[in-house]
């Protein structure tokens, strides 16, 4: 017991001091390495030294959460130690570490018992960075815009960053523009500026490349692109529109400005007003209208019939316009141009003779200011005395840009002042544009319509009535006829301008609905998707839809509305070429009338050429019929096999080598059947179409000795049906050798015309074929003819006829009679079948005599018999029209007479008989 106590006391005396270390340490370690440099060095001291164990340091212990370090004793006697990383240290994960360290001595003996520990010291470790990362730009592409002519301190700033943890390697110390020769510079903070004034006209955009360096001079792995747009100096106006818009016919409505917007340069606005104008004054009569004939247009619009066209297309029956100048460059619009030297007298049979208190005069007119301070009268239409006197009964003329209508009627009951001159003063009369003028006369009231708008006369003057006289009058166009009070009759008061579609309709006035239809335009402006427009948008069109006004308070709403403005042309074959567009804009600011000047826009719509149709007329070119068919009550239908088709070249076929052909259905407006050669003689022949053939169709027809004209806007099928029912009749076929006709059809008043289809009508080679064969059969059956044949054969033999020859003669005669009977039956059956086909209006049969097995030679007889035949033919040729109507009743008598005439004219050609 005493020994144990002594040992404890001895040990306590030996290890009586604690180890000692510094109170704090600061260390540095480079990332990815394990050595820590401490300041001060890690050394533990113990005052028990040099006593073994008690004065020695056995270990260092670290206290902290997940400390990645460990302390190792290098020398137990001196107490030196080292601090190192137990696992790799990453600066980017943690830059600093703080933990507690304590030193432990070895105790009092080998067992390590009774060890003592030092106080706690704080250790601060800083992780040194390694430049292992490259700079990276924060954006993949930088964009900016500048205004031309301006120097910027900074256009835009590029920015790069580095993942390294230290300021040395994580900071970007420099930027550099890689692209050479650019007018830009960049500073160390990434600000890009321009070094010279940029010009929009010289270059609209720049593309440069920029790189970055960190403070360790490590370059960015990937450079960055910078796009800089140069904008012109902000000028208020419309942007995003094209100067030309192509329009393909048949595509309906097409947007004109789909990406259009108004640049206001940021100014506050209170309202915007834009006016879009479609200028088509160079197209036809002011815009793309249907170019059908005036009569066809009137029928399309439902106008009353009975109008007289005073300026028709020149033709054999309407030749008074042949000497006038026509404007052929207006899409086949029939336009007459008067230069102050041309005029035309309208034939008396064309002039309406029954003008009452109600009638209508209508015309298209294009007129400009007259030369001189005091211009002369320019007459469009004038009805004056043909001889002796110079009285103007009614006229329409222009004087000093005023339209004047003169009407002096023959008043036989009341001899007082009456309204005589009606004056209108309008800008349209001298604006050099096309306008449609209609004068409705309901005497004493006269109303003028210009482009469908009503105008009352501003001045009406009275005059004495014209006393009735027996002097004929002359109606003229383009001037006034002065037939009396002068030595030489002449024209006077010439018109200078252009006219088209000048008509007079007696007995009725035209309705406003028809007037609007006649001057309607087929092209114009339109707005798509009206329901999508903002509520504050207001818009309105003019009657012709050539002017559109859009108003609104918000610029965005105006921009949306303008993108929906469209062009439309409803014609199947529109006039190709340019249409000009003009946009004027007014901008209002708060408290001011106008604050921004918006430049006008001038653009064009290019209407592309349509696929032109090819109208083709096909059928039989020759019609051969017996005289009886031509002479019959119905005559013959020359065009019963007619076909009218229309095709267009449409694109390319699938192999890309040959163009494709597509049949096109559209309307025609006239078909003319003209007589080639001598005109029809109404005393013996006629070419006519029955009124029933036109029922249910929009067609009319006119007839003359020159032919037939079928007109009206209708389908090709209806025209084909009508032309097939045209009949030719000649009730004196003895005078007919052949008749030739020419058929042509037109679409859009001659813009597209068909081929010229020629057809010849002629009689069969033998006239009155069935009558002839009947007479021939009677002649051959008579005993004298048989005896005559027998004697001919007998005379060929010098002696008595042998029995064999007699048998041959009898057989030949019998065979001849059988052949004649069969031929007569075939001809009669063919004739009957052809007559039935005419009555049922089916295809005519043709009799082909050239292939007949029967050969008959008809020889002329002596001169006396020929003279008798000519007298008979003259008698038939002189038959009147009334007599021709009864020709069917006398048919039997004519057949008998024809048989008697043929009897004495036949001579048998014996050379054709063999025996």
Domain 237-282+522-607 belongs to what architecture? Answer: Sandwich (2.60)
Homologous superfamily, domain 136-231? Cadherins (2.60.40.60)
Least confident of 443-447, 458-462, 515-519: 515-519
What is the per-residue pLDDT across 465-493, written as a single tens digit (0 to 9) for each? 776 777 888 999 999 998 877 778 889 99
- Who's near 623: CB < 8 A, 6+ residues apart? 636, 638, 759, 760, 761, 762, 844, 846
Q: How far apart are the first and last CA of the chain?
A: 190
| Strands (E) located in 141-257 | 141-147, 156-157, 160-161, 172-177, 184-186, 191-194, 205-214, 224-231, 237-239, 244-247, 254-255
What is the per-residue pLDDT across 541-585, written as a single tens digit (0 to 9) for each? 887 888 999 998 888 889 989 999 999 998 888 888 899 999 999
- Who's near 683: CB < 8 A, 6+ residues apart? 880, 881
- pLDDT at residue 884 above 80? no
Q: What DSSP string describes 762-800?
A: EE-SSTTHHHHHHHHHHHHHSHHHHHHHHHHHHHTSSSS
Average of per-residue pLDDT across 316-323? 85
d(CA 297, CA 519): 10
Q: Which CATH class is domain 294-519?
A: mainly beta
pLDDT band at 859 (very low <50, low <70, confident <90, very high): very low
Average of per-residue pLDDT across 149-177? 90
Q: Where are the domains of the chain?
A: 20-128, 136-231, 237-282+522-607, 294-519, 613-651+659-763
- pLDDT at residue 905 above 60? no
| Strands (E) located in 367-517 | 378-385, 392-398, 402-407, 418-425, 434-442, 445-450, 453-455, 459-463, 473-477, 480-482, 490-492, 496-506
Average of per-residue pLDDT across 167-185? 90
* Domains 20-128 and 136-231 agree in fold: yes
pLDDT of residue 839: 44
pTM above 0.75, yes or no: no
Average of per-residue pLDDT across 277-289? 82
pLDDT band at 772 (very low <50, low <70, confident <90, very high): very low
Angstrom distances, CA of residue 92 to CA of 85, 132, 161, 166, 454: 16, 10, 14, 9, 90
d(CA 260, CA 912): 95
What is the per-residue pLDDT across 806-839, written as a single tens digit (0 to 9) for each? 565 666 677 666 666 665 555 555 455 444 444 4
Q: Are 222 and 211 in contact (CB under 8 A)?
A: no
Domain 20-128 belongs to what architecture? Answer: Sandwich (2.60)
- pLDDT at residue 378 above 60? yes
Q: Are 261 and 529 in contact (CB under 8 A)?
A: no
- pLDDT at residue 879 above 70? no
Within 10 Å of residue 668's Cβ, how many Cβ atoms? 28
- Across the chain, mean pLDDT equals 79
pLDDT of residue 19: 92
């Amino acid at each position: 017991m005493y020994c144990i106590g002594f040992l404890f006391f001895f040990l306590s005396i030996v290890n009586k001091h604690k180890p000692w270390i510094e109170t704090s340490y600061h260390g540095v370690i480079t990332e990815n390495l394990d050595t820590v440099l401490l300041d001060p060095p890690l050394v533990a001291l113990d005052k028990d030294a040099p006593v073994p164990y008690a004065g020695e340091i056995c270990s260092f212990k670290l206290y902290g959460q997940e400390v990645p370090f460990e302390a190792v004793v290098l020398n137990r006697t001196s107490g030196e130690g080292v601090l190192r990383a137990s696992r790799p240290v990453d600066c980017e994960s943690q830059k600093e570490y703080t933990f507690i360290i304590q030193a432990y001595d070895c105790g009092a003996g080998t067992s390590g018992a009774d060890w003592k520990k030092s106080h706690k010291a704080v250790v601060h470790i800083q992780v040194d960075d390694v430049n292992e990362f490259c700079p990276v730009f924060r954006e993949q592409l930088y964009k900016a815009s500048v205004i031309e002519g301006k120097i910027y301190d900074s256009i835009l700033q590029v920015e790069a960053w580095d993942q390294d943890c230290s300021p040395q390697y994580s900071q970007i110390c420099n930027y550099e523009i890689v692209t050479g020769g650019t007018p830009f510079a960049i500073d160390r903070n990434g600000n890009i500026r321009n070094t010279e004034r940029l010009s929009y006209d010289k270059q609209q955009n720049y593309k440069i490349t920029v790189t970055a360096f960190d403070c360790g001079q490590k370059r960015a792995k990937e450079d960055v692109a910078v796009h800089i747009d140069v904008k012109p100096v902000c000028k208020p106006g419309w942007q995003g529109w094209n100067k030309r818009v192509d329009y393909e016919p048949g595509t309906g409505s097409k947007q004109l400005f789909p990406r259009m917007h108004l640049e206001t340069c940021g100014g506050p606005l209170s309202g915007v007003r834009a006016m879009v104008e479609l200028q088509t004054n160079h197209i036809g009569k002011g815009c793309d209208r249907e170019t059908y004939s005036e009569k066809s247009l009137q029928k399309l619009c439902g106008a009353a019939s009975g109008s007289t066209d005073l300026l028709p297309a020149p033709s054999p029956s309407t030749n008074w316009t042949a000497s006038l100048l026509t404007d052929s460059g207006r899409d086949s619009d029939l336009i007459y141009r008067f230069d102050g030297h041309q005029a035309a007298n309208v034939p008396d049979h064309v002039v309406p003779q029954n003008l009452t208190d109600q009638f209508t005069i209508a015309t298209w007119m294009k007129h400009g200011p007259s030369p001189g301070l005091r211009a002369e009268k320019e007459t469009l239409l004038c009805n004056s005395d043909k001889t002796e006197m110079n009285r103007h009964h009614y006229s329409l003329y222009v004087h000093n840009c005023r339209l004047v209508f003169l009407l002096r009627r023959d008043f036989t009951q009341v001899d007082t002042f009456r309204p005589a001159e009606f004056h209108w003063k309008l800008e349209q009369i001298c604006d050099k544009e096309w306008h449609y003028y209609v004068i409705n006369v309901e005497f004493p009231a006269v109303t003028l319509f210009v482009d469908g708008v009503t105008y009352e006369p501003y001045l009406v003057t009275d005059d004495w009535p014209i006393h009735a006289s027996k002097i004929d009058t002359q109606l003229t166009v383009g001037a006034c006829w002065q037939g009396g009070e002068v030595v030489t009759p002449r024209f006077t008061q010439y018109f200078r301008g252009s006219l088209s579609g000048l008509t007079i309709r007696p007995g009725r006035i035209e309705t406003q609905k028809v007037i609007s239809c006649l001057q309607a335009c087929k092209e114009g402006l339109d707005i798509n998707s009206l329901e999508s427009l903002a509520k504050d948008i207001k818009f309105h069109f003019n009657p012709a839809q050539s002017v559109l006004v859009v108003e609104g308070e918000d610029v965005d709403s105006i921009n949306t509305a303008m993108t929906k403005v469209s062009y439309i042309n409803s014609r199947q074959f529109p006039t190709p070429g340019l249409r000009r567009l003009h946009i004027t804009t007014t901008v209002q600011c708060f408290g001011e009338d106008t604050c921004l000047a918006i430049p006008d826009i001038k653009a064009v719509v290019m209407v592309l050429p349509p696929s032109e149709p090819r109208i083709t007329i096909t059928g039989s070119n020759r019609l051969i019929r017996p005289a009886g068919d031509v002479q019959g009550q119905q005559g013959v239908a020359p065009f019963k096999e007619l076909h009218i088709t229309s095709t267009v070249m449409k694109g390319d076929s699938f192999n890309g080598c040959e163009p494709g052909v597509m049949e096109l259905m559209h309307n025609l407006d006239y078909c003319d059947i003209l007589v080639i050669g001598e005109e029809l003689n109404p005393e013996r022949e006629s070419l006519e179409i029955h009124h029933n053939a036109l029922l249910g169709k929009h067609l009319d027809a006119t007839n003359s000795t020159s032919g037939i004209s079928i007109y009206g806007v209708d389908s090709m099928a209806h025209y084909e049906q009508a032309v097939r029912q045209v009949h030719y009749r000649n009730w004196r076929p003895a005078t007919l050798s052949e008749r030739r006709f020419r058929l042509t059809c037109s679409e859009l008043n001659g813009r597209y015309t068909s081929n010229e289809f020629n057809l010849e009508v002629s009689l069969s080679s033998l006239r009155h074929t069935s009558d002839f064969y009947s007479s021939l059969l009677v002649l051959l059956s008579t005993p004298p003819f048989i005896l005559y044949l027998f004697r001919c054969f007998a005379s060929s033999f010098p002696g008595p006829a042998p029995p064999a020859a007699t048998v041959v003669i009898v057989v030949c005669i019998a065979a001849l009679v059988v052949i004649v009977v069969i031929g007569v039956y075939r001809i009669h059956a063919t004739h009957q079948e052809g007559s039935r086909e005419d009555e049922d209006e089916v295809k005519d049969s043709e009799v082909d005599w050239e292939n007949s097995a029967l050969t008959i030679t008809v020889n002329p007889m002596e001169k006396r018999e020929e003279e008798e035949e000519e007298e008979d033919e003259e008698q038939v040729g002189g038959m009147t029209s009334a007599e021709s109507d009864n020709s069917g009743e006398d048919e039997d008598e004519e057949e008998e007479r024809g048989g008697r005439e043929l009897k004495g004219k036949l001579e048998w050609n014996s050379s054709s008989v063999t025996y």
